[in-house]
Amino acid sequence: MSKPLRPLLLLLLGLILGIAGYYYFCVRETTPPTVAPEVLRVQALQRLRLITKEITYRQDVDLYMEGQHAIGTADLVAYVKYDLETLQITPQGRDTFFLVLPDPEIELGRRPGGAHDIRYYLDQGGRAGAPSADRVMIRRLNQRIREDAEQEIRTNPRYLPEAKKQAERQLLMLLQSLAPSAHFIFTETLTLPSPETSRIHDKR
């Protein structure tokens, strides 16, 4: 190779590498996803607004409050609800989407046909005495039982994780039916440097 051609070839090689690098790091990263998050947002909300999972909660109760006792069995059902209006969707590349489920809402009630049975007694020397007829205290005791049940459901790993997995499976089936070629990944938080992080909002 003659010396006059060598600088020209090096310059040409550098130009090719520069163009390739620009495409790889800039053009490729700005390529829009194959499925627009807005399209997924609208279509998902048209089919499914709320994911609800049911949890059975049964615990023995022995509660004391302000001179009164509540004793028996709490047989409750918790409805764990995920509102898809606040589902976070972040596209990454052309066909990958990262998803974060919203925090669950929990509604508690007696399990239909269950064995919920709480008795209320006046305190007698640290023990349960005569039955209580104080409706205000009975209402407060029931509220405390529900609060304790909700706290345990939120913190005990045997409850919410399984409900969350079921909700993720249900949502994944829906999204895959809307975008079969896309990949959906659930995560706890989104830290991706993407400006397109979206929340599902129904403006109706």
Phi, psi torsion values for 16, nearest 5 degrees: -65, -45
Tens digits of per-residue pLDDT, 17-43? 666 555 555 544 455 666 777 778 778
Query: So what's the pLDDT on residue 44?
Result: 83
Does the pTM surpass 0.75? The reply is no
Query: So what's the pLDDT on residue 27?
Result: 46
Whether residue 191 is predicted with pLDDT greater than 60 in this model: the reply is no
**Do residues 83 and 107 touch, judged by C-beta distance below 8 A?**
no
Tens digits of per-residue pLDDT, 124-147? 887 888 999 999 999 999 999 999
Whether residue 6 is predicted with pLDDT greater than 70 in this model: the reply is no
CA end-to-end distance (rounded Å), the chain: 71
Tens digits of per-residue pLDDT, 60-117? 999 999 999 999 999 999 999 999 988 888 888 888 999 999 999 999 998 888 889 9
Task: Report domain extents, the chain.
Answer: 1-30, 33-199
Residue 101's CB is within 10 A of a number of other CB atoms, namely 19
Sole residue written with tokens 């249900």? 170
Query: So what's the pLDDT on residue 199?
Result: 42
H helix intervals, the chain: 5-22, 37-47, 135-155, 160-178
- Selection from 100, 94, 98, 115 nearest residue 181 by Cα: 94
Q: Kindly provide the residue ranges of all beta strands, DSSP E only, lying in 66-137, ordered along the sequence.
A: 68-83, 88-92, 96-100, 105-110, 117-124, 127-131
